[in-house]
Amino acid sequence: MNTNTKASVIERLAAIPTASISDAMDSLGLHGTLHGLSPLTYGFRATGPAFTVQYAPAGGARGSVGDFLDDVPPGAVIVIDNDGRTDVTVWGGIMTEVAADRGIAGTIINGVCRDIATSLQQNYPLFSRGKFMRTGKDRVQLVAVQTEVTIDDVHIAPSDIICADADGALAVPQAYAEQVADIAERIEDTEARIVAAVKAGSTLVQARKDLGYHDLQWGNK
């Protein structure tokens, strides 16, 4: 996928709710939903290529959290895997300020974050397993960046596209991104037509049947 095509697909996916993207992925037999990761507020949305970060419990060396930010390009969605830990944070206010200033699209954390007020003030999209104030400095260490990570049995490569909104977050494999976008757009169109038909007097059952709703979501396997 060339750069222009990838940008176009990202724009298309950014306009589609994650619910329809998830349905499209179901129809292709793809598992990409990141269970348990939620936005700080319902207005947050983030779409972009994954910039992956892997943490592990710290050894004897002292260290800070977040130095990788200097390498994240604008428009990327940072995906941090801290193995789901909720006892130490791997994202705070300084990182939010820097990421927002550099045009990073958002951050997905398999773990927790802090300094929530800063994220809300900056309108910087954060998705995580919760909030906690205890620092990860000297408690976690950076293991790798821009390598495949696995969250909720979903394998996320740096080339994959992250989509996140009020319903949660998911990862779309790059190789399937255009196909997922095509199906998700058809789902959105069909659902709008179903609603219009019901408002015009049809029953919901008949409208779904007439417009092939079930087959649209499950007919690509």
Angstrom distance (rounded) from CA 151 to CA 140: 18
Give the model's pLDDT for residue 61: 67
Provide the token pair at 119.
Answer: 């994220």
Q: How many residues does the chain have?
A: 221
Query: What whole-number distance in Å separates Cα of residue 18 and Cα of residue 41?
Result: 15
Shared domain for 114 and 197, answered yes or no, is: no
Q: Residue ranges of the chain with pLDDT lower than 50?
A: none
pLDDT score recorded for residue 202: 86
Q: Are residues 214 and 141 in the same domain?
A: no
Q: What is the pLDDT of residue 150?
A: 97
Are 131 and 202 in the same domain?
no
Q: What is the pLDDT of residue 203?
A: 81
Q: Which residues constitute the domain of residue 147? A: 31-172
Q: Are residues 48 and 98 in the same domain?
A: yes
Stated as kind and residue range, the H or E segment containing 168 is: strand 168-172
Kindly state whether residue 162 falls inside one of the protein's structural domains: yes
- The per-residue pLDDT for 2 is 59
pLDDT, position 206: 83
Distance of CA 116 to the CA centre of its chain: 19
- Number of domains, the chain: 2
Note the pLDDT of residue 62: 65
What pLDDT score was predicted for residue 218?
Answer: 60
Look up the CATH number of the domain holding residue 39. 3.50.30.40
